[in-house]
Amino acid sequence: MNEYNLSQNFGRAYKKLARSIVSIFFLLSIFDIFYSVVATPTNDIPFPNAENRVKPGKLMSKLSFPLPTNKWWTTFGLGNGDKTVHVAPYLVKASHNGLDFGYPEHQNTHHPNPEKFIIMDKAMHISVSVKEPTSYSGLLSYDDLSATLKWTNPTENSQIFVAPLIKGSPYVSIKFANLSPKINAFGQDINLYKKENKYFILEIGGGSNRWAVFASHDIEFDRIGSGEYSSKHLYNGYLRFAYLGNSGNQAETENTFYKYSRTIPVGGSVGFPENNIMTFQYNVENFGQQEELLLLCLTHHKQILRNIYFLPSFPKFRTLKGPLFPVIGNKWELVYTSEDVGFSYKKALPEETKSGIQRALEEEVPSEGGLWINENSVYFKGKKLARLARLALIACELGLHEKKTMIVNSLKSIMETFYIDRSGNHLVYDTVWGGVCSKDGISNPDADFGNGDYNDHHFHYGYYVYAAAVIIHLSDAQDRWATAWKHHTEYLLNDFANFDSENKKFITFRHMDFYEGHSWASGLYEFWDNKNQESSSESVNAYYAAYLYALATKNEQSAKIYNSLLKSEILSTQYYWQTDPDKDIYNKKFSENYAVGVLWDQKLDYSTWFGANDEFIYGIQMLPFTPVTFSMLNRTWIQKAWPTIQSRTIYSGSRIIDEWKGFMYMAGLYGVSNPPLNQYNSCQVNNIKLGIRNLKAYDDGNSKTNTLWWTALATI
């Protein structure tokens, strides 16, 4: 800045000063306008509108905007809608003329590598259609727990049939209006005989495959050849099919199915009445005697279901995820008992570890700054933002408030630029499906891991929400950032975690499958094995980020819901991704891997989308390491799995880059230090700590500082 001699040049200096003051006020005015126009919440969309190259077809024409993209049943509305979907315990497929279904009794029957895959048998047993000309109309409706398919006679609108599909129902239910139902078994011989009024037994292939068939109203069938039966008259009402199997007490099984056949689930809703409690309220139609609803629950449900009756005797149904258990009740109450996890871990850093962590922080965050992120990928930019957020939290934990403030200010600048940037790979709002996508992703199916096809949105945007939550948490109470950028941040949050059905910009619970207890990452793709999810840990951290954001913004209602979603995701991760050969879920051979790489609707892969290296498979189920990772990684499981993980990665003889090796060490340390420690475990702890000290590189979402922070806490 120039200096002025005011005694000699007062006039010139005064004019210069006046111009400077005017300029300052002008800049301040522009700043206020910038915040009021660009950053503050409005009813307008904070990102540019864009039209997705993928368009919904006629099979979704009955659904209103915004449209579902990742639900377990969206396959019924994509393409021809004829891919198989697992509606536990049955496999179901919509054909042009009707509904095909079967019970998958076998898995991996002829596969040469049972330790690498578990694949469901895709055999269909029964096809139900009608004599009248009808065609598949697609998805009629959906809710939190169900989807309903529809077939229509194009020349007579009053002739329709619908199939409400609810996971856990041991019956396949189809409702007919003014139609003549037909039953066949894909060319096999069948026999249908009447046991009593509205109750039939269907035998396929000479009786090797037996089903009970129940009608809500009177119906009579004619046999057509050896492989088909057809209703004699137009029918109005339900037909329900239940697989009987060939084992156990058949009379008892048939009586149980008969008793509960008159209570039909047609939909349901999920509620969050209290923190740590989730409810499933099933909507039913009753015919005749009023009975409670018979459903089947998964293994993880057994641990958290309250105030419900478990039937003591029932056929042994299994799914890809293990055995199913019969329960009676129109309402499920699921109570999660794990501890809440906030921004910090419940245990404090040991004093003797702080100096080493601080030195690492000084190395990674120099005083002169330089924390800008140059990254075009939405996913990798998010990971790097979350890495900085972790550094800010650790700086706060160490009492380094200037360092914390510097990192937070850098985070603010990067986030703000990302929110308002309209060059490069910026964010857009998809006006076709209703969601936030990357500019590259919405126009290119190969960009951003299929972001424009709604792949991995919770992974991607969870990182940004985490960074925003940390900014708000660590900023002064009078700081304007949370309010100024609320609209932008909550568009990302609501893209994957919206729970408000009145929000007409985003579908509710985009990824979540409430029955399975976890999310599906894949979006608008028609896969042979339907939906899939690879990184259980990134899914967990997405809901963790949502929960932290609610805490930071002091929104108790949102926090309650996000916390339940988080705990649901953690529990299913521990049951279905963290495998154990001593648990009756997957077969022993596959379970000895101690991890699932990609979990599909109808298949398990011991692999990843980006390679089959063991360190990839284990690491993608661990990263990123945050306080919630202590809850997500079942310590007993990692202790038991560590010898296998270690032998396949650290001591495998293959060259493993430090970025992945660090994750192996971090998880292993938590497992082997599980008390009580003995001499052998203590030696392992020391060896792992030595390995951590020798690391020279870290994943782009991790850091030396975070690794040492974890090391300090994982052993106490």
Q: For 135-165, how does the pLDDT look when each residue is reduced to its tens digit (9 = 90+)?
A: 999 999 999 999 999 999 999 999 999 999 9
Residue 464 belongs to a domain: yes
State yes or no: cis peptide before 66, omega within 30 of 0: yes
pLDDT average, residue stretch 120-148: 97
d(CA 680, CA 328): 49
Residue 133 belongs to a domain: yes
pLDDT average, residue stretch 561-585: 98
**417 against 111, higher pLDDT:** 417
546 and 686 belong to one structural domain: yes
Residue in the structure block whose two tokens are 């980006």:
610
Q: Per-residue pLDDT tens for 243-267?
A: 998 767 889 999 999 999 999 999 9
pLDDT of amino acid 10: 33
Confidence of residue 112 (pLDDT cuts 50, 70, 90): confident
Q: Per-residue pLDDT tens for 292-318?
A: 999 999 999 999 999 999 999 898 899
Bridge partners, residue 299, by sequence: none
For residue 181, how far is the Cα from the chain centroid? 37
Residue 614 belongs to a domain: yes
pLDDT of amino acid 37: 34
Contact 617, 611 (CB under 8 A): no
pLDDT average, residue stretch 448-475: 99
Contacts of residue 677, defined as CB under 8 A and 6 or more positions apart, other chains included, come to: 685
Number of residues that make up the chain: 716
Domain membership of residue 199 as a residue range: 58-264
DSSP codes of every residue in 42-71: -SS-SS-EE--SS---GGGTTSPSSPP-SS
pLDDT of amino acid 249: 84
Q: Per-residue pLDDT tens for 656-709?
A: 999 999 999 999 999 999 888 888 889 999 999 999 999 999 999 999 999 999
- Residue finishing a domain among 238, 264, 290: 264
Domain count, the chain: 2
362 and 258 belong to one structural domain: no
- Residue finishing a domain among 240, 264, 288: 264
254 and 358 belong to one structural domain: no
Judged against a pLDDT cut of 80, whether residue 32 lies above it is answered with no
d(CA 393, CA 187): 65
Judged against a pLDDT cut of 90, whether residue 29 lies above it is answered with no
d(CA 41, CA 51): 23
Confidence of residue 4 (pLDDT cuts 50, 70, 90): very low
Judged against a pLDDT cut of 90, whether residue 369 lies above it is answered with no
Letter string b/e over residues 112-129, b meaning 16 or more CB atoms within 10 A of that residue's CB: eebebbbbbeeebbbbbb
pLDDT of amino acid 109: 55
pLDDT average, residue stretch 206-220: 94
Residue 40 belongs to a domain: no
Contact 306, 333 (CB under 8 A): yes
Least confident window among 97-106, 378-387, 485-494, 617-626 = 97-106
Distances in Å between the Cα of 408 and the Cα atoms of 186, 247, 532, 544, 701 are: 64, 63, 35, 20, 17
Residue in the structure block whose two tokens are 């948490």:
473
Contact 531, 523 (CB under 8 A): no
HEC string of 467-534? HHHHHHHHCCCCCCHHHHCHHHHHHHHHHHHCCCCCCCCCCCCCCEECCCCEECCCCCCCCCCCCEEC
355 and 252 belong to one structural domain: no
d(CA 341, CA 339): 6
SS3 for 611?
strand
260 and 355 belong to one structural domain: no
Contact 377, 441 (CB under 8 A): no
HEC string of 274-341? ECCEEEEEEEEEECCCCCCCEEEECHHHHHHEECCEECCCCCCCEECCEECEEEECCEEEEECCCCCC
Residue 542 belongs to a domain: yes
pLDDT of amino acid 105: 79
Contact 419, 46 (CB under 8 A): yes
Confidence of residue 110 (pLDDT cuts 50, 70, 90): low
pLDDT average, residue stretch 45-73: 98
For residue 36, how far is the Cα from the chain centroid? 35
64 and 193 belong to one structural domain: yes
Judged against a pLDDT cut of 80, whether residue 368 lies above it is answered with no
Residue 114 belongs to a domain: yes
Count CB-CB contacts under 10 A for residue 339. 11
State yes or no: cis peptide before 676, omega within 30 of 0: yes
For the chain, the average pLDDT equals: 93
- Residue finishing a domain among 208, 236, 264: 264
Q: Which of 564, 596, 526, 641 is nearest to 304 (CA)?
A: 564
pLDDT of amino acid 42: 38
Burial label, 651 (beta-carbon count in 10 A; 0-12, 13-18, 19+): exposed
pLDDT average, residue stretch 644-665: 97
376 and 255 belong to one structural domain: no
d(CA 455, CA 469): 23
Count CB-CB contacts under 10 A for residue 704. 20
Kind of pairing between the strands at 318-319 and 331-335:
unpaired
Least confident window among 21-30, 364-373, 568-577, 630-639 = 21-30
pLDDT of amino acid 206: 84
CATH of the domain at 82: 2.70.98.30
CATH of the domain at 426: 1.50.10
Positive or negative torsion for Cα 264, 269, 274, 275 = positive
Q: Which of 339, 627, 349 is nearest to 469 (CA)?
A: 627
Supply the DSSP symbol for 37. I
Residue 137 belongs to a domain: yes
Residue in the structure block whose two tokens are 């000699």:
8
**430 against 105, higher pLDDT:** 430
Query: What phi and psi values does residue 634 have, to the nearest 5 degrees?
Result: -60, 115
Judged against a pLDDT cut of 80, whether residue 19 lies above it is answered with no
Residue 86 belongs to a domain: yes
473 and 358 belong to one structural domain: yes
Q: Is the entire prediction scored with pTM above 0.75?
A: yes
Contact 642, 668 (CB under 8 A): yes
What token pair was written down for 338? 């794990």
d(CA 371, CA 128): 62
